[in-house]
Copies of this chain bind each other. A is one copy, B any other.
Amino acid sequence: MTRNYSHVYTHTYRLTAAQCNAQSELAPAMLVQQIIEVSTEHADLLGIGFERLRHDDNLWVLSRIAFEMKRYPRLLEHYSLSTWIEGYNRHFSERNFEIRGEGGEVLGYARTVWFSINMTTRRPANLESITEIARTISDHPCPIERQGKIRPVNPPQTVHNYTFMLSDIDVNRHVNSARYVELILNQFTLDTFDECFLSRFEIEYKHECHFGKQVEVCSAFDRDATVTAIMLADTPICLARSILTMRDKKLSFDNQ
């Protein structure tokens, strides 16, 4: 089988002390911020970024992220995020990622799903008009499972209240996508993250949330994962599944 591996874009980073979490690693929320950053850069380079969509009065909206890591980049490590478009249809586009550490070691993979909506109506736009996407598809492998449906557990086992403040709001005047990841992982203790690491994470962004809104962050352990719902009264803002693995357990990817 011939594979088309072109149209892969790579951004290289070095993890500084100021960016590290308590475990001297790249924090999962910072990984999410960099996934968004690299997506934006690549879409702009391909001519299918926010500028192109604005032409039709549309914009990109991040709907889902799933990632699996066998370990996270460490303090002072050079690491890279490579991204490519796996496919698209009229409703959404699928963009994948490969995260590599020093010396090219594969540390993990991510899958993201992006919708396009109309800026005025806030209704889904038809991606078929963006014909430029067709020539950007890559067959680069992404050997992690697609995200499953996330069902909140009722009643939750832990609930925290949080009111969104100035520092939580991003350039779109909504709550920052990476900030939700921090609130979700804040349901865990420091001891838990010293013993375990986040080996798989899935998040589904359901509704936008704004400055001053008070939400409940509700979590419950369900089979192998912690399921978290951030709720604005009865409206789910986002849903997440977090799988933690003991740090001494060795993980690998099948198709590496």
Contacts and interface: CB of A to CB of B under 8 A. Distances in A.
Given A16-B40, A17-B40, A40-B16, A75 B185 contact: no
Contacts of A193: 166
Interface stretch (A130-138, A169-177, A226-234): A169-177
B171 A24 contact: yes
Interface residues of A, number: 35
24 contacts: A16-B37, A16-B41, A17-B40, A18-B33, A18-B34, A18-B36, A19-B37, A21-B167, A21-B170, A21-B171, A22-B169, A24-B171, A27-B167, A29-B167, A166-B185, A166-B186, A166-B188, A166-B189, A167-B182, A167-B183, A167-B185, A167-B186, A169-B190, A190-B211
Contacts of A21: 166-167, 169-171
A178 interface: yes
A165 interface: yes
A217 to B, nearest CB: 10
A18, A33, A36, A171 — most chain B CB neighbours (10 Å): A18
A20 interface: yes
A171 B212 CA distance: 30
A240 to B, nearest CB: 14
A171 B29 contact: no
**Stoichiometry, copies per complex:** 2
Nearest to A41: B16
Interface string A207-220: 00001100000000
Contacts of A19: 33, 37
Interface in A1-40: 16-22, 24, 27, 29, 33-34, 36-37, 40
A211 B193 CA distance: 12
A34 B183 CA distance: 23
A171 B36 CA distance: 24
For the complex of A and B, 9 pairs with smallest distance between CB atoms: A165-B186, A167-B182, A22-B169, A20-B171, A18-B37, A190-B211, A18-B36, A18-B33, A16-B37
